[in-house]
Structure 1
Amino acid sequence: MIEAAMIWNEPNNKSHWDPDLDPDWSRFAHMAKLAGDAIRDVNPGLTRVLGGISPIDPNFMALMKSYGVLDHVDAVAVHGFPLDWNLWQIDEWPQKIEEIRHVTDLPLWVSEVGVSTFGAEEVQAWGLKRTVELLKGGIDRIQWYSLYDLPSAWGATTRHREAEGSSYYRHFYMGLLREDGTPKPSIDEFARHTPELGLMQWFHFEDPRLDEAVAWMKRLGVTYMRTGLAWADRFRPNALDWFDRQMEALEDFDVTVTFCFTPAHRGLAAHHTSTPIVPEEFAEFCAEMTERYATTSSTLDFVDQSPFSRGTMRSTNLPTQPRE
């Protein structure tokens, strides 16, 4: 069910990686290489993707290349939101793609692109149509962000908050569906472009929207999507039960799983953006999740062929519990 494993999310965005702790991104590069190797060791055929960068910065991609990170992944990804946060216009999408292609010949994914309805819902419908016109046919994967609006009570994963005016609040209106589950006008436009167009939807821990989201994706003709499994959530009670439920619900789709977010007690700072104290622990998490949800018969000794049967898989190289 997992077609790809993505290593982190927006590593050049301070909302997801703290540059004060790692100003030259050398710590991130080391961690990413460890994770790429760990995923490959468990499943050599699984596509490894460098976490989508935001902003689209060829200099950052060149830095990752200089550190050797691109030798440990099979594809790279970018995120773009020109109608909301980026300082470039939507028609510059082809130029932005070419800037990255000049740095690497690895397959290039747009693993998040979207338009907020903060100002007007009609803007999203137009932006979706124009985005597809600009990107379709020239990119290996296009994953629209997102299916649902972010519930107003949850809070966005960003460090900017209200300091930048409407920028923070735009996070809450990126969905094709409103918070109450009713569709926006853009949903019909989205359905015109599936299955070529995929979706990106984060699911919070024990997210009550999961089953409804699956039903909507099938109704819309979605065949591939991206989501995340948070390293920080691995330390919650019943974490594996939730991970199993999430992945089982998504088993009918080709899924890109993003591994990210440092547990507060395992970072140099007590924050999900922190570089880990021991980067090998993140690699172990990536290996554990790959082994659980994206294994082959040659890499795992199955007692029961279902990956959702409790206690049916025996790891050959990982501890039964994450390191404390």
Structure 2
Amino acid sequence: MDTGPRLRLNNGVEMPALGLGLFLAPADETTGAVVTAINDGYRLIDTAAGYLNERAVGEGIRRSGINRSEMFVTTKLWVTDYGYDEALRAFDLSLDRLGLDYLDLYLLHWPTPEQFDKTLAAYHAAEKLLTEGRVRAIGVCNFVPSRLETLISQTDVVPAINQVELHPFYNQRETREADARDGIITQSWAPIGGIFTRLQSLGREVSGHPLEHPVVLELARKYGKTAAQIIIRWHLDHGLSVIPKSVKPSRIAENIGVFDFQLTNEDVARIDELDKGMRAGPDPETFSRDSYQVDVTAQ
């Protein structure tokens, strides 16, 4: 079974390049999705305390029957648990919900610019967990380059990962380049534009969708692939980690069916040109502890 390419993090740990994202996946659908994904070859599972499905993820891993050592499991610290002692307690709770002895990757979910001291304290807690061997790698999500440089200058461990919104309409060139300079892997959330679908479901008007763009559809015909597979391959060909979300078995299988082809440099560049600077998710520089009301204990 082809489980796809792997990326070497800046501390030497290897991580699958492609994984299953579970942003707000309902807990009652998550366990089955995880089992399906593992059976289809996924070895990276990405969840978060704020997704309220950590228990279901852990149950899915156990039901799959796979050896724990074959899996790469990521979860994230929610912003209401920022601070040093708070983060350590929250980590223990996440690990308990997942039913695991260690994590492969622990991420800070968002920066909180108005209380960045708490963000830094939480990252120091993650450094302690790394030193103790309770996590294999640590990192951040949604950090713009300037905010990331501040964190690096005031901590001891350079993040292994910066997970950010990244898709053809918002390709984050500046962030990708800054991450690469610091030896950080950029990981793409909402990689095929799922955030646009979510906004539409909430009644928000959005301008187009990456999956429907004529260039993407043309390349899908050229390669005999789906639009989603073309976009996922674009991420991989840029050397990114990519975590498309789905709980549907057919989509889960579709999203991993990208290891038998590569885009040409010219076709990668054509998709690069679709960038609109169009962020659909929250702005990290205005994100606060009050941006979302999430009770992470309600799972």
TM-score, normalized by length of structure 1? 0.54
Whether the aligned pair in 2 keeps the contact of 1:143 and 1:225 (CA below 8 Å) is no
Q: Residues 112-191 of structure 1: matches in 2 within 5 Å?
A: 112-114=107-109, 116-136=111-131, 137-148=133-144, 177=146, 185-189=150-154
Matched, 1:248 2:203: no
Identity of aligned residues (%): 9
Unmatched 5+ stretches in structure 1: 11-15, 41-46, 149-175, 262-274, 293-306, 313-324
Deviation at 1:282, TM superposition (A): 0.9
Whether the aligned pair in 2 keeps the contact of 1:78 and 1:112 (CA below 8 Å) is yes
CA 209–257 in structure 1, closer or farther in 2 if over 3 Å, else same: closer
What is the RMSD computed on CA atoms of the aligned residues? 3.9
* CA deviation profile, 1:126-152 (whole Å, cap 9, x unmatched): 43233322334431232311332xxxx
* CA deviation profile, 1:204-260 (whole Å, cap 9, x unmatched): 3332522x22221122232x34224337467322346655544333x2xxx532121
Partner of 2:178, secondary structure, is: helix
* Rounded Cα–Cα distance in structure 2 between residues aligned with 1:220 and 1:122: 22
Matched, 1:7 2:20: yes
1:193 corresponds in structure 2 to 157
* Rounded Cα–Cα distance in structure 2 between residues aligned with 1:31 and 1:130: 31
* Rounded Cα–Cα distance in structure 2 between residues aligned with 1:104 and 1:120: 31
Letter in 1 for 2:165: W
* Rounded Cα–Cα distance in structure 2 between residues aligned with 1:131 and 1:291: 37
Q: Residues 251-262 of structure 1: matches in 2 within 5 Å?
A: 251=239, 255-260=240-245
Unmatched 5+ stretches in structure 2: 8-15, 195-208, 217-226, 268-299
CA 201–231 in structure 1, closer or farther in 2 if over 3 Å, else same: closer
* Rounded Cα–Cα distance in structure 1 between residues aligned with 2:30 and 2:234: 30
1:30 corresponds in structure 2 to 32
Whether the aligned pair in 2 keeps the contact of 1:52 and 1:112 (CA below 8 Å) is no
2:77 corresponds in structure 1 to 80
TM-score, normalized by length of structure 2? 0.57
* Rounded Cα–Cα distance in structure 2 between residues aligned with 1:111 and 1:98: 10
Matched, 1:227 2:188: yes
Letter in 2 for 1:309: T
* Rounded Cα–Cα distance in structure 2 between residues aligned with 1:71 and 1:84: 31
Deviation at 1:52, TM superposition (A): 1.6
* CA deviation profile, 1:117-175 (whole Å, cap 9, x unmatched): 34233443343233322334431232311332xxxxxxxxxxxxxxxxxxxxxxxxxxx
CA 115–70 in structure 1, closer or farther in 2 if over 3 Å, else same: farther
Deviation at 1:203, TM superposition (A): 0.7
**Which among 81, 87, 92 is matched to residue 90 of structure 1?**
87
Q: Which has the larger radius of gyration?
A: 1
1:172 corresponds in structure 2 to none
Whether the aligned pair in 2 keeps the contact of 1:9 and 1:52 (CA below 8 Å) is yes
2:264 corresponds in structure 1 to 309
Matched, 1:64 2:66: no
**Which among 256, 279, 283 is matched to residue 252 of structure 2?**
283
Partner of 1:120, secondary structure, is: helix
* Rounded Cα–Cα distance in structure 2 between residues aligned with 1:81 and 1:145: 11
Whether the aligned pair in 1 keeps the contact of 2:35 and 2:64 (CA below 8 Å) is yes
Matched, 1:109 2:70: no
Deviation at 1:113, TM superposition (A): 1.7
Matched, 1:203 2:166: yes
* Rounded Cα–Cα distance in structure 1 between residues aligned with 2:236 and 2:95: 34
2:270 corresponds in structure 1 to none
* CA deviation profile, 1:261-289 (whole Å, cap 9, x unmatched): 5xxxxxxxxxxxxx5xxx33213322323
* CA deviation profile, 1:21-65 (whole Å, cap 9, x unmatched): xxx61x433333333222x2xxxxxx6123323247764355435
